[in-house]
Amino acid sequence: MGIKDQKNKGKKVYFCIFLTSIGYVYIAKTEKGICRISFPRTSKNDLPLPDQRATYINLCENDSFLKYEIGILKKYFEGKQVIFDFSLDLSSGTFFQRKVWNKLKEIPYGECRSYKWVAEQIGNPKAARAVGMANNKNPLPPVIPCHRVIGANGKLIGYATGLHIKQWLLEMESDANPSQAKHRDSA
């Protein structure tokens, strides 16, 4: 067992899987906050990522412990504009990943920015590809809105669950907030 494993030994992670219009959504929470959101899942038995099932972590299904967060996510997937005002646990990320993820949270609902823009905003203008890799490791979509990051040419590129899901999320947000600019980046 490594040092990280020792630190997490016996750590409780509460989870729930619930159905939305996009499919099943998996959500997990530690004592620090929401640590994982994964969608679309194909069934209630479709748990994501082996690290969430590691033997040193005590997984506990608990809908009531996640009731508030589930309510907000359900509204979001119904196409309503929401504010994700719950605590997050980003401890699974590296320093660089957390820097990128925190910058992504600043992208307004229904708007997009480029990977290049994100790299420039975090003070590392040549790190657009690294920003893309951090997006790929994002444990909390859509709360950390990596779907709002597009290519510098305005094209949709890169999304872990597929470009069709990215497109669906962007269209849903645009429909929920028509006053926002559509899918384009000024950067």
Catalytic residues: 146
Between CA 115 and CA 131 the distance in angstroms is 6
**One-letter identity of residue 4:** K
